């Protein structure tokens, strides 16, 4: 629902022609409610849609023809599903040895490979939910971190395989998996334990590497403030006139401040409480110190930096009660040649490009009509 589509979106945003193969009744994320309502329009821009019934011999034939023309085939199904249709790497590479085949799975091959995985499943079993929540209260991250990053790693693997193909002339299979992605995310905490012998504590209980690195509740809201070096600590104290804290021997170095962190934070919370978020933000920005007002996702539509730099782009919503309306979506977070990677194609309606793609495969008007009559395509 997110992992495979993210891979395709990354490649599409960078200029590839990406064809999304959907079932006749459409990708089910087109009609999700609640937290899933943004899935399809977010991860399916810059793609063409063809709707096929893979259970129909004629529909399956179209899929095989498409794969025969492709540089990259990406899939996001349970293990064995693609082999049932002859659309697995082993089958396709016999016909198209140059194909790069990207499999997005829950787990890489091994004892867990046949388990059904979700982002939440691997966050729970892979230590991320433990690190995010309070002790005894595991909590998944607030967005689909493994799905999105797993798709990105799939795209990175595809690009690497295409580079290798330039040398060898032969494609290969790339695999990306949610669980292994999650393990990569918590790898720093694993190594912390290996190096120090001390297990990483969940975020709310973590011994921070820096003393001033926390959310502060002030007069009109909350703001994250940090001073992550001795130079920043000096700058911070001078900016607010805290000469007494700067002269305190217990606060002389970062590690000393970490040891004294509970007392130091209590003092800072009292002193900063009567400031406003805007006042603190202005002071921290003026002195080059890290800070962040606490924002909600819906507030980012009005973020002045995103608006000024083109970080949001208009897309046409393809489905649901707002079909045809224009909304703004976050763009892929890179520039190439100084430009953001924009929207060339709006998220497609179901089967929007079926006729165009069939014509490109050599089907004439009668052949296309026959496929529609047999309900092999939509």
325-356: per-residue pLDDT in tens?
A: 999 999 999 999 999 999 999 999 999 999 99
Split into its structural domains, the chain has a count of 2
| pLDDT for res 292 | 98
State percent of the chain over pLDDT 90: 97
23-40: per-residue pLDDT in tens?
A: 999 999 999 999 999 999
Report how far residue 261's alpha carbon sits from residue 268's, in angstroms, rounded to the nearest whole number.
10
Residue 30 shares a structural domain with residue 125: yes
84-121: per-residue pLDDT in tens?
A: 999 999 999 999 999 999 999 999 999 999 999 999 99
State percent of the chain over pLDDT 70: 100
Is 123 part of any domain?
yes
- Of 182, 265, 171, the closest CA to residue 226 belongs to 265
Residue 13 shares a structural domain with residue 55: yes
Strand duo 173-177 + 100-105: pairing:
parallel
| pLDDT for res 203 | 86
Report how far residue 125's alpha carbon sits from residue 127's, in angstroms, rounded to the nearest whole number.
6
3-state secondary structure of 293: strand
- Of 326, 330, 324, the closest CA to residue 301 belongs to 330
| pLDDT for res 204 | 83
Report how far residue 70's alpha carbon sits from residue 72's, in angstroms, rounded to the nearest whole number.
5
Residue 256 shares a structural domain with residue 278: yes
**pTM: predicted TM-score of the whole model, two decimal places:** 0.93
Report how far residue 352's alpha carbon sits from residue 347's, in angstroms, rounded to the nearest whole number.
10
Report how far residue 6's alpha carbon sits from residue 12's, in angstroms, rounded to the nearest whole number.
10
Is residue 53 predicted with pLDDT exceeding 80? yes
Residue 260 shares a structural domain with residue 357: no
Residue 375, C-beta contacts closer than 8 angstroms, at least 6 positions apart: 24, 53, 56
Is 121 part of any domain?
yes
| pLDDT for res 259 | 94
Domain end residue (candidates: 246, 263, 297) = 297
Residue 228 shares a structural domain with residue 127: no
| pLDDT for res 206 | 77
Residue 26 shares a structural domain with residue 103: yes
Report how far residue 339's alpha carbon sits from residue 334's, in angstroms, rounded to the nearest whole number.
8
262-288: per-residue pLDDT in tens?
A: 999 999 999 999 999 999 999 999 999
Residue 315 shares a structural domain with residue 288: no
Domain end residue (candidates: 297, 326, 346) = 297
| pLDDT for res 29 | 96
Is 190 part of any domain?
no
- Check which CATH number belongs to the domain holding 31 and give it: 3.40.50.10540
181-235: per-residue pLDDT in tens?
A: 999 999 999 999 999 999 999 988 877 889 999 999 999 999 999 999 999 999 9
Residue 99 shares a structural domain with residue 121: yes
Report how far residue 317's alpha carbon sits from residue 374's, in angstroms, rounded to the nearest whole number.
29
Residue 126 shares a structural domain with residue 13: yes
- Check which CATH number belongs to the domain holding 257 and give it: 3.30.1540.10
Is 303 part of any domain?
no
| pLDDT for res 45 | 98
Residue 80 shares a structural domain with residue 110: yes
Residue 38 shares a structural domain with residue 170: yes
Structural domain for 327, as ranges: 3-185+308-373
Q: E strands of the chain, at which residues?
A: 18-22, 47-51, 72-75, 100-105, 173-177, 212-218, 221-227, 291-293, 312-316, 326-330, 335-336, 339-340
Is 360 part of any domain?
yes
Is 269 part of any domain?
yes
| pLDDT for res 56 | 97
Q: What is the mean pLDDT of residues 137-159?
A: 97
Is 302 part of any domain?
no
Domain end residue (candidates: 297, 319, 334) = 297
Strand duo 72-75 + 100-105: pairing:
parallel
Is 156 part of any domain?
yes
DSSP state of 178: H
Q: E strands of 143-188, at which residues?
A: 173-177
Mean pLDDT, the chain, rounded, equals: 96
Report how far residue 242's alpha carbon sits from residue 240's, in angstroms, rounded to the nearest whole number.
6
User: Is 61 exposed, middle or buried (CB count within 10 Å of its CB: 0-12, 13-18, 19+)?
Assistant: middle
Token representation of residue 33: 């409610």
Residue 140 shares a structural domain with residue 271: no
Is residue 371 predicted with pLDDT exceeding 90? yes
Q: In this structure, are residues 332 and 46 in contact, taking their beta carbons and an 8 Å threshold?
A: no
Is residue 142 predicted with pLDDT exceeding 90? yes
């Amino acid at each position: 629902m997110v992992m495979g589509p993210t891979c395709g979106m990354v490649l599409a945003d960078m200029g590839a022609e990406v064809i999304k193969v959907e079932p006749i009744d459409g990708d089910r994320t087109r009609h999700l409610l609640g937290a899933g309502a943004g899935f399809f329009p977010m991860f399916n821009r810059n793609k063409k849609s063809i709707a096929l019934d893979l259970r129909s011999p004629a529909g399956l034939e179209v899929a095989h023809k498409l794969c025969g023309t492709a540089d990259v085939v990406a899939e996001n199904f349970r293990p064995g599903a693609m082999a049932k249709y002859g659309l697995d790497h082993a089958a396709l590479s016999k016909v198209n040895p140059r194909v790069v085949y990207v499999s997005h799975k829950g787990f890489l091959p091994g004892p867990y490979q046949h388990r059904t995985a979700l982002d939440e499943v691997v966050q729970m079993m892979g230590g991320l939910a433990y690190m995010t929540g309070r002790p005894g209260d595991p909590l998944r991250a607030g967005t689909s971190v493994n799905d999105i990053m797993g798709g990105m790693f799939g795209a990175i693997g595809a690009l690497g395989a295409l580079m290798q193909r330039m040398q060898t002339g032969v494609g290969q299979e790339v695999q990306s998996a949610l669980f292994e992605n999650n393990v990569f995310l918590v790898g720093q905490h694993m190594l912390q334990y290996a190096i120090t012998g001390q297990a990483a504590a969940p975020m709310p209980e973590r011994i921070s590497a820096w003393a001033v690195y926390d959310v502060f509740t002030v007069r009109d809201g909350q703001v994250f403030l940090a001073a992550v070096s001795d130079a920043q600590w000096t700058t911070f104290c001078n900016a607010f006139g805290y000469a007494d804290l700067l002269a305190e021997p217990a606060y002389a170095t970062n590690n000393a401040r970490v040891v004294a962190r509970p007392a130091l934070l209590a003092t800072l919370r009292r002193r900063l409480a009567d400031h406003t978020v805007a006042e603190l933000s202005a002071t921290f920005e003026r002195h080059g110190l890290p800070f962040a007002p606490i924002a909600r996702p819906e507030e980012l539509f009005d973020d002045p930096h995103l608006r000024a730099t083109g970080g949001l782009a208009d897309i046409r919503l393809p489905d649901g009660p707002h079909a045809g309306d224009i909304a703004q979506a976050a763009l892929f977070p890179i520039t190439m040649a100084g430009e953001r990677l924009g929207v060339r194609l709006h998220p497609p309606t179901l089967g929007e490009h079926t006729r165009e793609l069939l014509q490109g495969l050599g089907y004439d008007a009668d052949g296309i009509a026959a496929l529609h009559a047999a309900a092999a395509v939509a």
